Chains A and B, each alone.
Chain A
Amino acid sequence: MSVPHALLALLGEGPKYGLRLQNEFEARTGEVWPLNVGQVYTTLQRLERDGLVETDTVGAERSQKRYRITDAGTRELDAWLRTPPELVPPPRDELVIKVLVALQVPDADVPEILQVHRRHVVEVMQRYTRIKADAAEDDVALALVADAELFRLEAIVRWLDAADVRLKHLPATAPTPEADVPFEPARPMEVSQ
């Protein structure tokens, strides 16, 4: 989550004080991302240093400063909105590695291990769904935030389901004797965006 760009977007609506920015940030992200006031002011200082926001000269105290977005800030926000996020996953997904290792461990009950992870992921999904269930049906910001997590988590469950099916089709084999060969998990794949 880019806090600086979220603050720029809020300032795009008009000049605001730091405290109001904090409240609006939390409200618009469905209160799923708490943000302390210290973070808000540190970020605003950096944005001011980079010329992306400026402050009204009135009011001597820092907490009373009112911030407004500059033209450079507007251009930066627009460019950021159009820049695709990093989609290439980290080369070694911990869950994938655990399952690959499980395949090598003699007597490991791999379907049961897959189920442990499936249950855990579904339990986390239930918590996100509770957020949606407890909120008003027209709370779009909250639904979008919860949906993003739910689709990501659902993808993990689908991967676990696919792993189950692949393992079912695997011929039963004895563990390989060359146990002294160091285990090499997934080789990082070259994926271009």
Chain B
Amino acid sequence: MTSALELRQVSKLYGAGPTEVHALRAVDLSVERGELVAVMGPSGSGKSTLLTIAGTLEDATSGTVLVDGVDVASLSASGRARLRRRSIGYVFQDYNLLPGLTAIENVALPLELDGVRGRAARATGLTALEALDVADHAERYPDELSGGERQRVAIARATVGERGLLLADEPTGALDSVNGESVMRLLRTAAHRGVAGVVVTHEAQLASWADRVVFLRDGHIVDQTVAPPGPESLLVASERT
């Protein structure tokens, strides 16, 4: 089966000579649909670079990036833009909603840019807002929404339509821990509905919502979690104590 995202030996180099920085070094990573992967590491470990390269917002210096089996390097600029609109959703720390558009207009926008007619785009957008429980705020502008509601709208925009890859960079930003947890719960649900999700975070509690946690250090993937046993194993452990 083709992975929704596959990085093969991806490296990224910034600068040259004495100012040269290896942001990523020979990274291999595959993410399947239905799986939420967290990339965890300290600041400067290459997390955000990994996400921008996976999202085709930036080119790798070497290595191969495949989105739904398509080698990104083989695409023209317009082909890449189309891939970004159709296949990839982004969730950012500061939501990045357009302030002059309502929630539903923000969510429908990527579909309209891709040629979907206004009414159909709106209907699909509303379905995405409903899935995130913010459909009753559809006509509100971003500044009329709370932080948690804005992030729900942003996730709706990232998952609207047929997107198969969801990329999130520190998506809980300045939210408190309970609201942050809601965001992670939504990302997990979206992934388990059949999207491949990648979340970048430096917080272990947020990363623990993922099915798999990948640890990044100095541009290398140094380790990853193995599929955890079910929560029932905790009951056995607590019985012993």
Give B120-162 as 1s and 0s: 1 = Cβ < 8 Å from A's Cβ atoms: 0000000000000000000000000000000000000000000
Q: How far, in whole Å, are A118 and B208 apart by their CA atoms in the complex?
A: 12
Give A106-143 as 1s and 0s: 1 = Cβ < 8 Å from B's Cβ atoms: 00000110010011011101111111111001000000
Give A144-166 as 1s and 0s: 1 = Cβ < 8 Å from B's Cβ atoms: 00000011011001100100110
Q: How far, in whole Å, are A115 and B215 apart by their CA atoms in the complex?
A: 9
Q: Is the CB of B229 within 8 A of A127?
A: yes
Q: Is the CB of A115 within 8 A of B222?
A: yes
**Chain A residues whose CB sits within 8 angstroms of the CB of B4 once the complex forms:** none
**Chain B residues whose CB sits within 8 angstroms of the CB of A165 once the complex forms:** 42
**Interface set, chain B 211-241, CB cutoff 8 A to A:** 213, 215, 217, 222-226, 228-231, 233-235, 238-239
Residues in chain B within 8 A of chain A (CB atoms): 40, 42, 181-182, 185, 188, 203-205, 207-210, 213, 215, 217, 222-226, 228-231, 233-235, 238-239
Q: Which 10 A-B pairs have the closest CB atoms?
A: A125-B208, A157-B204, A129-B208, A131-B231, A126-B228, A130-B231, A126-B208, A154-B204, A154-B205, A123-B225
Q: Distance (Å) between the CB of B121 and the closest chain A CB? A: 30
Q: Is the CB of A134 within 8 A of B231?
A: yes
Q: Is the CB of B223 within 8 A of A119?
A: yes
**Tally of contacts, chain A with chain B, CB under 8 A:** 76
Q: Is the CB of B234 within 8 A of A127?
A: yes
**Chain B residues whose CB sits within 8 angstroms of the CB of A115 once the complex forms:** 215, 217, 222-223
Q: Is the CB of A153 within 8 A of B209?
A: no
**Chain A residues whose CB sits within 8 angstroms of the CB of B223 once the complex forms:** 115, 118-119
Given A127-B229, A128-B231, the answer on whether A133 and B209 have CB atoms closer than 8 Å is yes
Given A123-B225, A161-B42, the answer on whether A131 and B204 have CB atoms closer than 8 Å is no
Greatest chain B CB density within 10 A among A126, A128, A131, A158 is at A126
Q: How far, in whole Å, are A78 and B93 apart by their CA atoms in the complex?
A: 44
Q: How far, in whole Å, are A115 and B216 apart by their CA atoms in the complex?
A: 11
**9 sample A-B contacts, Cβ–Cβ < 8 Å, listed by A number:** A119-B223, A125-B204, A127-B234, A133-B209, A150-B205, A150-B208, A157-B204, A158-B204, A164-B42
Q: How far, in whole Å, are A115 and B221 apart by their CA atoms in the complex?
A: 12
A97 lies within 8 A of chain B by Cβ: no
Q: Is the CB of A122 within 8 A of B230?
A: no
A33 lies within 8 A of chain B by Cβ: yes
